[in-house]
Amino acid sequence: MWPLCDARGGLIVMSVHPPKLVIFDCDGVLVDSEPLSLDVLVRVLRNAGVDMDAEEATERFLGKSLKTMSDILHEEYGLAVDDHFLEEMRLDLYQRFRRELQPIAGISQALDELDIARCVASSSQMERIRLSLTITGLIDKLEPHLFSASMVANGKPAPDLFLHAAAQMHTAPENCIVIEDSPAGIEAAQAAGMRVFAFAGASHAKSERHLATLRQLEPDVLFDDMRELIHFVRKEQRDGNAS
Ligand SMILES: [Mg+2]
């Protein structure tokens, strides 16, 4: 593989493997959920005696599973994440989701335009994935191909979930493109041997600092408008078929 710049200045990596499957992360890629979940997390943490602002919470927990988050809170903050804590957070979050959750702008059209297989691979639990996609009207475009971190031993940044999703979809890792918004997710895709398009168009991803972090991880494409997704996928298809 060798790097090229496309006309828009985005980094493209040519590949000899045509894409056959697009694996979508959910939070921050399909639904604009991160501001809501970080807000709820910060509040629940404060009630439990841990003072953490939204920026720190973003850095520590973005894209990670509940289990990973629980481990960090236990080991580094001495907080026992018990059933009461999780239940409070879950109820609060679902209420906010029902009132406020929006799809990522342009994602519905992007899914309609995509002419290869697609699936979802998210750090969230299946109940939350299904709720998020139902509220935002995306579920019919993605069901039944939904995969949750609870199905594998190790969450992102480990490659387990993406490898599991690809295997279930009968697709080799080199024929997959992962769409991810979080550093942990980008690292997981790279560890799985997949191409990764970093999406920086969600509400939480606009800061220069966040963009710099994403850039440092050298994703194959970095983009911030979901309406452009089809352009980048088609480019990969042309490159793959030409080689
Ligand atoms: Mg995400």
How far is ligand 1, taken at its centre, from the CA of residue 5, in Å?
Answer: 25
Same-domain pairing of 57 and 149? no
Same-domain pairing of 76 and 28? no
What does pTM read for this prediction? 0.87
Average pLDDT in the chain:
90
Residue 12 has pLDDT above 60, yes or no: no
How far is ligand 1, taken at its centre, from the CA of residue 95, in Å?
Answer: 20
pLDDT of 43-79, one tens digit each? 988 988 889 888 888 888 887 888 888 888 999 988 8
Residue 94 has pLDDT above 70, yes or no: yes
Q: Which of 100, 122, 140 is the last residue of a domain?
A: 100
Report the CATH number at residue 27: 3.40.50.1000
Same-domain pairing of 203 and 167? yes
How far is ligand 1, taken at its centre, from the CA of residue 122, in Å?
Answer: 7
Rounded-to-integer distance, Cα 138 and Cα 92, Å: 22
Same-domain pairing of 68 and 177? no
How far is ligand 1, taken at its centre, from the CA of residue 50, in Å?
Answer: 24
Q: Which of 56, 74, 100 is the last residue of a domain?
A: 100
pLDDT of 98-113, one tens digit each? 999 999 999 999 999 9
How many domains does the structure of the chain reveal?
2
How far is ligand 1, taken at its centre, from the CA of residue 68, in Å?
Answer: 14
pLDDT band at 7 (very low <50, low <70, confident <90, very high): low
The count of other CB atoms within 10 Å of the CB of residue 218 is 14
Residues 12/221, Cβ–Cβ less than 8 Å: yes
Same-domain pairing of 237 and 222? yes
How far is ligand 1, taken at its centre, from the CA of residue 243, in Å?
Answer: 32
How far is ligand 1, taken at its centre, from the CA of residue 40, in Å?
Answer: 16
Backbone angles phi, psi at 157, to 5 degrees: -85, 5
Same-domain pairing of 85 and 189? no
Nearest residue to 93 (alpha-carbon basis) of 35, 155, 133:
35
Residues 230/18, Cβ–Cβ less than 8 Å: no
How far is ligand 1, taken at its centre, from the CA of residue 213, in Å?
Answer: 14
Same-domain pairing of 200 and 233? yes
DSSP 207-242: SHHHHHHHHHT--SEEES-GGGHHHHHHHHHHHHHH
Residues spanned by the domain of 53? 34-100
How far is ligand 1, taken at its centre, from the CA of residue 183, in Å?
Answer: 9
How far is ligand 1, taken at its centre, from the CA of residue 16, in Å?
Answer: 28
Per-residue model confidence (pLDDT) at position 206: 80
Per-residue model confidence (pLDDT) at position 204: 80
Same-domain pairing of 54 and 70? yes
Same-domain pairing of 124 and 214? yes
Helix, strand or coil, per DSSP, at residue 27: strand
pLDDT of 157-200, one tens digit each? 999 999 999 999 999 999 999 999 999 999 999 999 999 999 99
Same-domain pairing of 70 and 185? no
Same-domain pairing of 110 and 92? no
Same-domain pairing of 20 and 119? yes
How far is ligand 1, taken at its centre, from the CA of residue 30, in Å?
Answer: 9
